[in-house]
Chain A
Amino acid sequence: MEKMSRVTTALSGSALTGRTMHCHLDAPANAISVCRDAAQVVVAGRSIFKIYAIEEEQFVEKLNLRVGRKPSLNLSCADVVWHQMDENLLATAATNGVVVTWNLGRPSRNKQDQLFTEHKRTVNKVCFHPTEAHVLLSGSQDGFMKCFDLRRKDSVSTFSGQSESVRDVQFSIRDYFTFASTFENGNVQLWDIRRPDRCERMFTAHNGPVFCCDWHPEDRGWLATGGRDKMVKVWDMTTHRAKEMHCVQTIASVARVKWRPECRHHLATCSMMVDHNIYVWDVRRPFVPAAMFEEHRDVTTGIAWRHPHDPSFLLSGSKDSTLCQHLFRDASQPVERANPEGLCYGLFGDLAFAAKESLVAAESGRKPYAGDRRHTIFFKRKLDPAEPFSGLASSALSVFETEPGSGSMSWFVDTAERYALAGRPLAELCDHNAKVARELGRNQVAQTWTMLRIIYCSPGLVPSANLNHSVGKGSSCGLPLMNSFNLKDMGPGLGSETRLDRSKGDARSDTALLDSSATLITNEDNEETEGSDVPADYLLGDVEGEEDELYPLDSEHVHPEEPEYVLPQEAFPLRHEIVDTPSGPEHLQDKADSPHVSGSEADAASLAPVDSSFSLLSVSHALYDSRLPPDFFSVLVRDMLRFYAEQGDVQMAVSVLIVLGERVRKDIDEQTQEHWYTSYIDLLQRFCLWNVSNEVVKLSTSRAVSCLNQASTTLHVNCSHCKRPMSSRGWVCDRCHRCASMCAVCHHVVKGLFVWCQGCSHGGHLQHIMKWLEGSSHCPAGCGHLCEYS
């Protein structure tokens, strides 16, 4: 903030210099106004009314207009304005409804000139005529606007807005006779000063009060209005009907709006609630402010450009009792902070990517950056034609489409639909899910389920038929059995990483043939992988492939990675313990039940259950039997869930989480769980799996997630007769005064579940129809149709 930059601008002879600075006032300011020579500023508020000289380094108090011993309400200013023709003339609007003019040329200490007490309520705004020396306009809470001639003691004419309070009045800069007024009910009126009987034109500009308006200093017909509905609108008033040219959406109600001098499309706004910053907007770019001044600590109440031809100095007064001069050069520019890249996934794995054009152009020559590191997809670049803000930012939009088929997510949908998550004993759930996964060719997942079952369910319950079945399935997959043997061949601890690299490399070269740069990238990947440890791998996987690539349907490429992860390293020390464990007959018995890792092992185990070290799984199982509590594995399971989630298979993580319930929940922190849940629900909804997503929401224990079911529970329905939305009640239409759905059995209105026959479109209460169709096969409406209920 304290950048001491200094700006000098030459303006029609005089030069403005200064820096960003502020000074403390004694009391909150309500309004400020600048003198014509741009060297002085007046600050007015409930208990302050002072003139400050703007010097190069600081503000200097020049004059306190609040004189007299007793504070008077006449001095409690809601607004102040400095005449743009006469340097000695000021006018204030008091909260008690008095309009006061001040003559700085008076020799006495009290500069008060005239007092107009015609308004009955607070005067919100005063405004001098831009060219006429003696004409003053006021707008008040009582709904009247009054025009005063300063040479006379009372008002010349009174304009009645025929509505509640007037919030702002502004003389048009170009049209001598015209002024605009804005109202609390959202209207804007245009008046001719000579015709007090009725307004020239009226239109509704905002929803709720219009707090302010400002005529464009150059463009004859442009009027900017700001309202409580958080919008700034620019109207073209030259046409027959006021036309909305631009609309800027701000984040809080707009209290003041001022066009920036010399910049045709810029305007400054401030808010009266919540938001303390001053924004300068380019109206053509309504989403990001061009500049932002963040000096104030409380709401800004008054803003003014220092000189009508200098766009770089902005003055502001605030409720935090400071007066500030802002230099445009020192403003923070949100555009620069905004992330210029955008990335979005389509439902079928398409990817759209927008970035600064310079960035995209540079990429072709040198190393590709993150976004382009993808395989299995084609590049298709569409450059946005003719960006309107060529000066500010120009971006390129690229759309990457997945090769048809390669990114199919049907496994996801199938899995989501067929998984059982609750309602049965844990063992059955695990078995069922394992079966589902296996049938979809996802053997790693299937094995995980089986293992979970082993860990958490007592082994005695395993039905042998099931076992055989699983064994058979496992071997019939035709997967290279080398996996499990590989593991044995390699040294423990070392194995997983090297294996991983190789398998990754394999997968890469297979799938990425289409990409010319594939080989290069693969090499790069491998280097990285080798240098880093496991988490880095996950990260890499995330950036590159996400689900598309890591889980294609052809499981061959993926599968080689699996055993390493199923057998995390923590498990290895166990093996040695087991060797020492004396094995009794029951031990052997158990082992026969345990072989779930692969078919070959299973066979081996059942035939010759002697070697206790050859299969990790059987070992750990045995351990469990010798009273290792399931808690012992919770770390393992947690890591497994993390692994799946980070691989992008959040489905697995959430499903396991739900199925295991209390058993693992405590090991994973709330936030992570919530994150998984929301991602999975989001995915499900993208695939229109509403039922599944609802079930997940229902089964989730995270408070934030189960809340999802309570928000927007409103169901909007249309009337079956007039096809219009039924707004007030769901079963009777306000327009055609008919009830939307009648039960064919009881002839009452159906207010809840309505079931109908797709053949004859008759229907009714679910219970009634069910009952009816038990006894008769004909439609209860008597139409003769043979309805079916299933």
Chain B
Amino acid sequence: MRLATAANEAYAASLAVSEVLGCNQCGGGRGRVEELGIRVPRPLGHGPSRFIPEKEILQVGSEDAQMHTLFADSFAALGRLDNITLVMVFHPQYLESFLKTQHYLLQMDGPLPLHYRHYIGIMAAARHRCSYLVNLHVNDFLHVGGDPKWLNGLENAPQKLQNLGELNKVLAHRPWLITKEHIEGLLKAEEHSWSLAELVHAVVLLTHYHSLASFTFGCGISPEIHCDGGHTFRPPSVSNYCICDITNGNHGVDEMQVNSAGNISTSDSFFEVEALMEKMKQLQECRDEEEASQEEMASRFEIEKRESMFVFSSDDDEVTPARDVSRHFEDTSYGYKDFSRHGMHVPTFRVQDYCWEDHGYSLVNRLYPDVGQLIDEKFHIAYNLTYNTMAMHKDVDTSMLRRAIWNYIHCMFGIRYDDYDYGEINQLLDRSFKVYIKTVVCTPEKVTKRMYDSFWRQFKHSEKVHVNLLLIEARMQAELLYALRAITRYMT
């Protein structure tokens, strides 16, 4: 066993380092270091997520064997244990698949050179102003030998990558506008042109990082300590009062706020869960008797699609990115725009005509072998993941709820399932939940802790993370479907 722990030791050591830099400095050791004139960075946030109290999140060291292996793998692959991993480990089954896919995309055989991959990741994350991912990948990019000049902005990168900017933009915000002309433009740009395999690799990377940006904001991932915004050199306050007490403890101010808020709404939110369960039961039972007419079914989709446009939170506190990420993309004004509001009519995307399982998979696997399989597995795990629990209830069949969430997201992108009654969505997802979903998927940079707290108040944090997994996978699939359909159209 001593032998097997080599990798683990290393990551434990890295944690020890962060501990030293964290709270231990309050102890005796601190003085010595500071006397030497070394500026000791301290973490700004508390725990891997700003939304989830640290004590809710699994403490490293207390994980079981499976998670332990996952952590070790993750550390071996990336050389770090990032906050995303620490939050995702709520669902180890998914995390495993996620890490495997990400590792393959970034480090294994593929048509794109390594620094291109990270740069594309940066481009994609920058689209959503996700400084967390941008910072991580800037480091990786430099590490694999990328040219630091490229980081000054997309216009300093090779023409080939600049060409990808347009696709990145459309894919991130309005994927339904992707046409085969976009694809053609990339593939036929003479010496700057992309090959089909490269393009598929790039598209998978783009969609992966768009949705990962959603996750980062949706779960309020804190910056890593070594990145901008993750640490401060401000010495701890001089009074006896130590910041670490508050930030690490989580039993201070935060907790009180939660409690006070919780107290008021406990009864409220208790009914929330009950009501939701009741509705699910009803839907299950009365599905057979109440038969909606065809027109109604069609209009329900349209209504849902339209309504999804209007769910937008009113609070507009802009999160200013710590690092100037905007220089990695152009046209900052281009954002999510609802398709129906814009004059042009975009036909509804029918899943029965182009779906991931039949079409998308085959195309990806043909052009970028093995990745189709990995992504397919990831989609499946995310879609089928369940513990049969809802808040405090056990043995609940949540498939209906999960399907409603999944289809709601696809609905926002104009993707329609013929065999789904979109009325169910209205029954199962309440407004605050829809606001959260919509924000995370379409404009993740606007997610606030209030939104996170205000939906599904009785549910556990792990369940909220679960929702986030559904959101990001559904989003990734939606983007992939549009991009791959365009590629297919180009090829035929």
Note all chain A residues with C-beta closer than 8 A to B113.
Answer: 710
B267 to chain A: closest CB distance in Å? 35
| Cβ of B430 under 8 Å from chain A | no
When chains A and B are docked, how far (Å) is the Cα of A272 from the Cα of B366? 13
Q: Are B7 and A121 neighbours in the complex by a CB distance under 8 Å?
A: no
Note all chain B residues with C-beta closer than 8 A to A46.
Answer: 350, 352-353
Note all chain B residues with C-beta closer than 8 A to A184.
Answer: 357
Q: Are A273 and B109 neighbours in the complex by a CB distance under 8 Å?
A: no
| Cβ of B362 under 8 Å from chain A | yes
| Cβ of A97 under 8 Å from chain B | yes
Contact of B419 among A120, A714, A739 (CB under 8 A): A120
Note all chain A residues with C-beta closer than 8 A to B1.
Answer: 737
Q: Which of A200-240 contact B (CB under 8 A)?
A: 208-209, 211, 228
Known: A184-B357, A298-B492, A731-B6. A117 touches B291 (CB 8 A): yes
Note all chain A residues with C-beta closer than 8 A to B3.
Answer: 732, 737-739, 742, 749
Q: Are A273 and B488 neighbours in the complex by a CB distance under 8 Å?
A: yes
Q: Are B362 and A73 neighbours in the complex by a CB distance under 8 Å?
A: no
Q: Are A728 and B4 neighbours in the complex by a CB distance under 8 Å?
A: no
Q: Which of A94-116 contact B (CB under 8 A)?
A: 94-97
When chains A and B are docked, how far (Å) is the Cα of A276 from the Cα of B492? 9
A72 to chain B: closest CB distance in Å? 4
| Cβ of B34 under 8 Å from chain A | no
Q: Are B109 and A122 neighbours in the complex by a CB distance under 8 Å?
A: no
Q: Are B363 and A70 neighbours in the complex by a CB distance under 8 Å?
A: no
When chains A and B are docked, how far (Å) is the Cα of A728 from the Cα of B7? 12
B137 to chain A: closest CB distance in Å? 20
Tell me the nearest residue of chain A to B363, going by C-beta.
Answer: A273
A695 to chain B: closest CB distance in Å? 21
Q: Are B7 and A78 neighbours in the complex by a CB distance under 8 Å?
A: no
Known: A70-B295, A252-B362, A298-B492. A748 touches B6 (CB 8 A): yes
Q: Which of B77-125 contact A (CB under 8 A)?
A: 108-109, 113
| Cβ of B35 under 8 Å from chain A | no
Known: A184-B357, A711-B109, A731-B6. A274 touches B350 (CB 8 A): no
| Cβ of A141 under 8 Å from chain B | yes
Q: Which of A271-322 contact B (CB under 8 A)?
A: 272-274, 276, 297-299
Q: Are A738 and B366 neighbours in the complex by a CB distance under 8 Å?
A: no
When chains A and B are docked, how far (Å) is the Cα of A70 from the Cα of B293? 12
Note all chain A residues with C-beta closer than 8 A to B362.
Answer: 228, 252-253, 272-274
| Cβ of A778 under 8 Å from chain B | no
Note all chain A residues with C-beta closer than 8 A to B108.
Answer: 714
When chains A and B are docked, how far (Å) is the Cα of A252 from the Cα of B7? 42
| Cβ of A76 under 8 Å from chain B | yes
Q: Are A96 and B359 neighbours in the complex by a CB distance under 8 Å?
A: no
Contact of A97 among B109, B298, B419 (CB under 8 A): B419
Q: Are A274 and B491 neighbours in the complex by a CB distance under 8 Å?
A: yes
Q: Which of A711-761 contact B (CB under 8 A)?
A: 711-714, 728-729, 731-732, 737-739, 742, 748-749
Contact of A78 among B4, B291, B352 (CB under 8 A): B352
Note all chain A residues with C-beta closer than 8 A to B492.
Answer: 276, 297-299
B361 to chain A: closest CB distance in Å? 7
When chains A and B are docked, how far (Å) is the Cα of A72 from the Cα of B298? 9
Q: Are B297 and A732 neighbours in the complex by a CB distance under 8 Å?
A: no
| Cβ of A74 under 8 Å from chain B | yes
A112 to chain B: closest CB distance in Å? 13
Counting chain A residues whose Cβ lies within 8 A of the other chain, the interface size class is: 35 or more
Q: Mark A113-150, 1 if CB is under 8 A from B, else 0.
A: 00001011110000000000000000001000000000
Tell me the nearest residue of chain B to A118, going by C-beta.
Answer: B288
When chains A and B are docked, how far (Å) is the Cα of A96 from the Cα of B420? 7
Note all chain A residues with C-beta closer than 8 A to B287.
Answer: 120
When chains A and B are docked, how far (Å) is the Cα of A76 from the Cα of B4? 58
When chains A and B are docked, how far (Å) is the Cα of A226 from the Cα of B492? 23
Q: Are A252 and B352 neighbours in the complex by a CB distance under 8 Å?
A: no
Q: Are B366 and A73 neighbours in the complex by a CB distance under 8 Å?
A: no
Q: Which of B319-344 contact A (CB under 8 A)?
A: none
Tell me the nearest residue of chain A to B373, going by C-beta.
Answer: A208
Q: Are B418 and A732 neighbours in the complex by a CB distance under 8 Å?
A: no
Total contacting residues, chain B, CB less than 8 A: 33
| Cβ of B58 under 8 Å from chain A | no
| Cβ of B263 under 8 Å from chain A | no
Q: Are A274 and B7 neighbours in the complex by a CB distance under 8 Å?
A: no
| Cβ of B302 under 8 Å from chain A | no
When chains A and B are docked, how far (Å) is the Cα of A749 from the Cα of B93? 29
Note all chain B residues with C-beta closer than 8 A to A209.
Answer: 357-358
Does more than half of chain A's interface fall in helix, strand or loop, or is it mixed? loop
Q: Which of A238-254 contact B (CB under 8 A)?
A: 252-253
B299 to chain A: closest CB distance in Å? 11
B97 to chain A: closest CB distance in Å? 15
Tell me the nearest residue of chain A to B1, going by C-beta.
Answer: A737
Q: Are B419 and A70 neighbours in the complex by a CB distance under 8 Å?
A: no
B152 to chain A: closest CB distance in Å? 25
When chains A and B are docked, how far (Å) is the Cα of A728 from the Cα of B69? 11
Q: Are A228 and B109 neighbours in the complex by a CB distance under 8 Å?
A: no
Known: A95-B352, A732-B4, A749-B3. A273 touches B295 (CB 8 A): no
Note all chain B residues with C-beta closer than 8 A to A72.
Answer: 294
B415 to chain A: closest CB distance in Å? 14
Contact of A738 among B4, B359, B417 (CB under 8 A): B4
B314 to chain A: closest CB distance in Å? 37
When chains A and B are docked, how far (Å) is the Cα of A181 from the Cα of B491? 33
| Cβ of B155 under 8 Å from chain A | no
Note all chain B residues with C-beta closer than 8 A to A742.
Answer: 3
Q: Are B6 and A122 neighbours in the complex by a CB distance under 8 Å?
A: no
Note all chain A residues with C-beta closer than 8 A to B7.
Answer: 729, 732
Note all chain B residues with C-beta closer than 8 A to A141.
Answer: 419
A302 to chain B: closest CB distance in Å? 14
When chains A and B are docked, how far (Å) is the Cα of A603 from the Cα of B256? 104
Q: Are A122 and B352 neighbours in the complex by a CB distance under 8 Å?
A: yes
Contact of A739 among B6, B76, B298, B488 (CB under 8 A): B6
Note all chain A residues with C-beta closer than 8 A to B419.
Answer: 95-97, 119-122, 141
Note all chain B residues with C-beta closer than 8 A to A711.
Answer: 109
Q: Are B4 and A712 neighbours in the complex by a CB distance under 8 Å?
A: no
| Cβ of B73 under 8 Å from chain A | yes
Q: Are B297 and A73 neighbours in the complex by a CB distance under 8 Å?
A: yes
Tell me the nearest residue of chain B to A141, going by C-beta.
Answer: B419
Note all chain B residues with C-beta closer than 8 A to A298.
Answer: 492
Contact of A76 among B352, B358, B366, B491 (CB under 8 A): B352
A744 to chain B: closest CB distance in Å? 14
Q: Are A272 and B295 neighbours in the complex by a CB distance under 8 Å?
A: no
Note all chain A residues with C-beta closer than 8 A to B488.
Answer: 273-274
Q: Are A712 and B109 neighbours in the complex by a CB distance under 8 Å?
A: yes
Note all chain B residues with C-beta closer than 8 A to A252.
Answer: 362, 366
Note all chain B residues with C-beta closer than 8 A to A117.
Answer: 291
Q: Are B4 and A73 neighbours in the complex by a CB distance under 8 Å?
A: no
A65 to chain B: closest CB distance in Å? 16
Note all chain B residues with C-beta closer than 8 A to A94.
Answer: 418
Known: A211-B358, A737-B1. A729 touches B366 (CB 8 A): no
Note all chain A residues with C-beta closer than 8 A to B366.
Answer: 252, 273-274
Task: Give 4 nearest A-B pairs by CB, closest first.
Answer: A95-B418, A739-B3, A273-B362, A72-B294
> What are 25 A-B contacts defined by CB distance under 8 Å?
A46-B353, A70-B295, A73-B298, A96-B418, A117-B291, A120-B287, A120-B419, A122-B418, A122-B419, A141-B419, A208-B361, A209-B357, A228-B357, A252-B366, A273-B359, A273-B366, A274-B491, A276-B492, A297-B492, A299-B492, A729-B7, A729-B76, A732-B4, A749-B3, A749-B6
Given contacts A141-B419, A228-B357, A272-B359, 10 further A-B contacts (CB under 8 A): A46-B352, A72-B294, A73-B297, A74-B294, A95-B419, A96-B297, A228-B358, A228-B362, A272-B362, A298-B492
User: Which residues of chain B have a CB within 8 Å of any CB of chain A?
Assistant: 1, 3-4, 6-7, 73, 76, 108-109, 113, 287, 291, 294-295, 297-298, 350, 352-353, 357-359, 361-363, 366, 376, 417-419, 488, 491-492
User: Which residues of chain A have a CB within 8 Å of any CB of chain B?
Assistant: 46, 70, 72-74, 76, 78, 94-97, 117, 119-122, 141, 184, 208-209, 211, 228, 252-253, 255, 272-274, 276, 297-299, 710-714, 728-729, 731-732, 737-739, 742, 748-749
